[in-house]
Amino acid sequence: MNIRHANIRKIAAALSAAALAGTAFAVNPIVTHKYSADPNAFVWKDRLYVVCSHDLDGQKGFEMNDYVLMSTDDLVNWTDHGDVFTGGKDVKWCWNLYAPGAAVKDGKVYLYYPNSGGPIGVAVADRPEGPYTDPLGKHLIGREMPGCDSCWVFDPAAFVDDDGKAYLYFGGNGDTMARAVRLNDDMVSAQFPGIMMKASKDGGEATVMPYFFEASYMHKHNGKYYFSYSANFPDRGASIDYAIGDSPLGPFVWKGAILPNWAENSWNNNHHSIVDFRGKTYIVYHSRILSNRQGHNNVFERSVCIDELKYNDDGTIAKVVPTHEGPRQLKPLDPYKANRAVTICQDEKVKVKMADVSKNNTSVVVASDDGAWVRYAGFAFGAAPESVSALCRAKGPAVVEVRKGAVDGPLAATIALSDTKGEFRKFSAAVSGIGAETCDLYFVFVKSAAGTEFASYRFAR
């Protein structure tokens, strides 16, 4: 995807200036070289992962065939792990993958997926990156099952309670259509009938889930259960609403909107998840912010964003104000270790692909054209570096410029590449103009760099 809209350069310059001043922020959306949607966030080994639907460039409808995975440990630089689950390949009976759900239990990752509007299947892996296997060879939940016959059997969201009991939430198309089932301990079978989720507006009798449309999610805070969802278009404008209860199956009391709809979302559908990470709570959601920046204004090109979520003293949730900046960086990058090139804050004119790097199939950055760049935010140097090395595969002579603070900022290093004959090779260059400081760096690909593949880099002192 080529991002040429001038706004992205202005945003990059402004946020880089903030980083140089000691206040590093992310950039919403979290990934700018591809479209992503329907994020389900979870924590694995002190790292935040988000599995998403994958919108294609220029698509005219919801035609998603694979799930993409991103992760971070600082909320600013996100690793693109590539496509981790594909319909028709990793699962034979399902081909159009709508919004995913994910949960971690007993050292395994469980991925719940619908085939378009249903039914819902489950896949299992030993780590978030996969590979995922389909243990059932068929769906887990379908409309033929008791309590599931009238709703859309899609938008699964898994929740594992503190006592180890697990639940799967799903459904759509009306305020009586929110459903839940109790998952068995194996996480790949369930107890029926499906249970209708209900909430009252005023603390009285709960009969429906007010304004419910789709995108169920469950999280827990201070012993209370928070059921959240995308509200219907006519009444709530696709806001993310929520209700609070004393058990994972309710009943609940409806509390209103967490995340109102906003112009950058083109007033269209939304999908979210809520996750605790390193002492704070975050809401991960999608918008049309990237498509709008490009001038496409395509509601089927969605992008995942993240912002902090806060609670009021009474346990209700303060309304989230969606931002362009996202949350502050939690920790700086270490320039003196090997860093993956696909752990990115922001980029332009690049894509990510899987490649064989040192006999390891992994994701790498690919420059689409001269002028392609990748921004890495918040390096803490501590001492002036003397050199930088980059592991690249090049088709011929090309140059990677390392620039400080902006795409056209001061030149810190010039890494000259040569034809690597189809292999990845390490290239090095001297560094100047960087001291014992914290700053952003841009790796800019120039001089016949189209097709150059970039796997990793490292500074030395």
pLDDT, tens only, 36-65: 999 999 999 999 999 999 999 999 989 899
Catalytic residue check, 38: yes
The answer to which of 9-13, 328-332, 402-406 has the lowest mean pLDDT is 9-13
Is residue 181 predicted with pLDDT exceeding 80?
yes
Distance CA 132, CA 217 (A): 23
Task: Dig out the tokens for 203 from the structure.
Answer: 């603390």
**Which pLDDT band holds residue 202 (cuts at 50, 70, 90)?**
confident
Residues 180 and 197 sit within 8 Å (Cβ to Cβ): yes
Sign of CA dihedral 93, 95, 98, 100: positive
- The pTM of the full predicted model, rounded to 2 decimals, is 0.94
At residue 16, the 3 state secondary structure works out as: helix
Residues 375 and 347 sit within 8 Å (Cβ to Cβ): yes
**Which pLDDT band holds residue 245 (cuts at 50, 70, 90)?**
very high
Distance CA 192, CA 409 (A): 61
Whole-number pLDDT of residue 349? 96
Number of Cβ atoms within 10 Å of the Cβ of 392: 27
Task: Dig out the tokens for 76 from the structure.
Answer: 């600013």
Question: How high is the mean pLDDT of the chain?
Answer: 93
pLDDT, tens only, 247-266: 999 999 999 999 999 889 98
Decide which of 2.130.10.10, 1.10.1270.20, 2.60.120.260, 3.40.50.720 is the CATH code for 339-460: 2.60.120.260
At residue 45, the 3 state secondary structure works out as: coil
Whole-number pLDDT of residue 14? 44
Distance CA 268, CA 265 (A): 6
Residues 409 and 403 sit within 8 Å (Cβ to Cβ): yes
Residues 247 and 234 sit within 8 Å (Cβ to Cβ): no
Whole-number pLDDT of residue 26? 55
Q: Show me where the domains of the chain are located.
A: 25-309, 339-460
Task: Dig out the tokens for 246 from the structure.
Answer: 């004393």
Distance CA 359, CA 375 (A): 27
pLDDT, tens only, 269-326: 999 999 999 999 999 999 999 999 989 999 999 999 999 999 999 999 999 999 999 9
Q: Where are the alpha helices (DSSP H) in 229-359?
A: 233-236, 289-293
25-309: CATH class: mainly beta
pLDDT, tens only, 279-295: 999 999 999 999 999 89
Catalytic residue check, 214: yes
Is residue 2 predicted with pLDDT exceeding 70?
no
Is residue 144 predicted with pLDDT exceeding 70?
yes
Whole-number pLDDT of residue 373? 98
- Torsion over CA of 163, 164, 165 and 170, rounded to 10 degrees? 120
Distance CA 303, CA 326 (A): 13
pLDDT, tens only, 68-124: 999 999 999 999 999 999 999 999 999 999 999 999 999 999 999 999 999 999 999
Q: Exactly one of 83, 134, 214, 453 is catalytic; which is it?
A: 214
Q: What percent of the chain has pLDDT over 90?
A: 88
Residue positions counted in the chain = 461
Phi, psi of 458, rounded to the nearest 5 degrees: -160, 140
Is residue 366 predicted with pLDDT exceeding 90?
yes
Residue type, 285: Y
164-186 burial: b if 16+ Cβ within 10 Å, else e: eebbbbbbbebbbbbbbbebeee
How many CA within 13 A on the CB side of residue 440? 35
Distance CA 193, CA 1 (A): 45
Distance CA 69, CA 51 (A): 5
Distance CA 103, CA 167 (A): 10
Q: Where are the alpha helices (DSSP H) in 270-426?
A: 289-293
Is residue 169 predicted with pLDDT exceeding 50?
yes
